[in-house]
């Protein structure tokens, strides 16, 4: 029986947690998630199963006083950096599932940068957690194609959710069969991009003279969040292109601006 502390957020995390709870060889001893929010699908799954919910601070205290013990940590899109006793406690380590290829794209903003850079493929990565951010040794990745002419940050995030779940299922099966930690390859800690949230936010501003405006719009299209913008009169205005407007339209409604239907 493997005792697991699960960490994560977003629907893919709830899906992974549900898969763990269905196994007879796994005991989920606790869940760290966004339970402080009004809507938290991962927290809902944990509550329904009677699994204790923690925040980072309470989990750290519980490990220190011995009331929380686990063999393996699993992090699916969890947002906190692990350190101290929480990082050192599990004998089988903490495995993080990162929604970007490593070592190329560390931290936040991978989806945005993938579109900005016009990439034709993307990847999700499983790696062991160390004291820094997305620098631990790599266990496995899963590569998939993307269309550089149509991809948006939102569409890439959606596609990555299924890939993350497949990677999670595969790596966890391997973890269950292994007597200890899995084989890894180096992450290349001195290479790759890492942007702060401030730096990422600054990239949203559009230079009308030098930017590929369409690409920049798609790179930061993730409603309801502010996207690529221009400034006028001291205000920010998010930009949108025709293709994105059409993607939001009700397919069952007609418009004066719809192209004419083909005639026989």
Backbone torsion region of residue 88, taken as left when φ is above 0, otherwise alpha when ψ lies between -120 and 50, otherwise beta:
alpha
pLDDT of residue 82: 93
Dmax (CA) for the chain in angstroms is 77
77, 97 Cβ separation under 8 angstroms: yes
Instruction: Specify the pTM.
Output: 0.91
7, 74 Cβ separation under 8 angstroms: yes
> Which of 149, 167, 193 is the last residue in one of the domains?
193
The angle formed by the CA atoms of residues 95, 101 and 102, to the nearest 5 degrees, is 65
Q: Residues 220, 177: one domain?
A: no
121-128 and 94-98 strand pairing: antiparallel
243, 150 Cβ separation under 8 angstroms: yes
Phi first, then psi, for residue 193 (nearest 5°) are: -95, 140
Q: Residues 153, 238: one domain?
A: no
Q: Residues 104, 53: one domain?
A: yes
pLDDT bracket for residue 219 (50, 70, 90): very high
Enter the tokens of residue 155.
């569409």
Over residues 43-48, mean pLDDT: 95
Q: What interhelical angle do 10-21 and 41-49 show, nearest 10?
A: 20
- Rounded Cα gap, residues 238 and 101, in angstroms: 28
Measure the CA dihedral 157/164/130/101, to 10°: -60
Over residues 248-264, mean pLDDT: 62
Over residues 9-28, mean pLDDT: 96
- Report whether pLDDT(147) > 90: yes
Domain span holding position 87: 2-193
pLDDT of residue 93: 97
> Which of 150, 166, 193 is the last residue in one of the domains?
193
Q: Residues 221, 151: one domain?
A: no
Q: Residues 106, 64: one domain?
A: yes
| Length of the chain in terms of residues written | 264
- Report whether pLDDT(250) > 80: no
26-32 and 53-54 strand pairing: parallel
């Amino acid at each position: 029986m493997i005792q697991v502390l699960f960490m994560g957020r977003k629907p893919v995390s709830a899906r992974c947690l549900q898969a763990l709870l269905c196994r007879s060889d796994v005991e989920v001893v606790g869940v760290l998630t966004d339970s402080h929010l009004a809507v938290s699908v991962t927290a809902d799954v944990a509550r329904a199963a009677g699994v204790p919910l923690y925040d980072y601070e309470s989990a750290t205290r519980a490990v220190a006083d011995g009331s929380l013990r686990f063999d393996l940590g699993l992090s699916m899109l969890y947002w906190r950096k692990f350190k101290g006793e929480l990082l050192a406690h599990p004998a089988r380590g903490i495995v993080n599932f990162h929604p970007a290829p490593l070592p190329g794209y560390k931290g936040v903003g991978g989806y945005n940068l993938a579109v900005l850079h016009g990439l034709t493929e993307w990847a999700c990565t499983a790696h062991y957690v160390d004291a820094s951010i997305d620098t631990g040794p790599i266990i496995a990745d899963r590569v998939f194609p993307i269309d550089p002419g149509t991809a948006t940050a939102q569409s890439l995030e959606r596609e990555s959710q299924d890939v993350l779940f497949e990677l999670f299922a595969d790596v966890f099966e391997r973890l269950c069969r292994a007597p200890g930690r899995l084989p890894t390859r180096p992450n290349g800690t001195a290479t790759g991009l890492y942007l702060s949230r401030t730096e990422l936010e600054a990239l949203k501003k559009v230079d009308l003279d030098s930017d590929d405006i369409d690409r920049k719009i798609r790179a930061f299209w993730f409603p309801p969040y502010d996207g690529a913008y221009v400034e006028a009169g001291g205000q920010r205005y998010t930009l949108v292109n025709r293709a994105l407007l059409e993607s939001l339209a009700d397919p069952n409604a007609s418009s004066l601006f719809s192209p004419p239907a083909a005639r026989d």
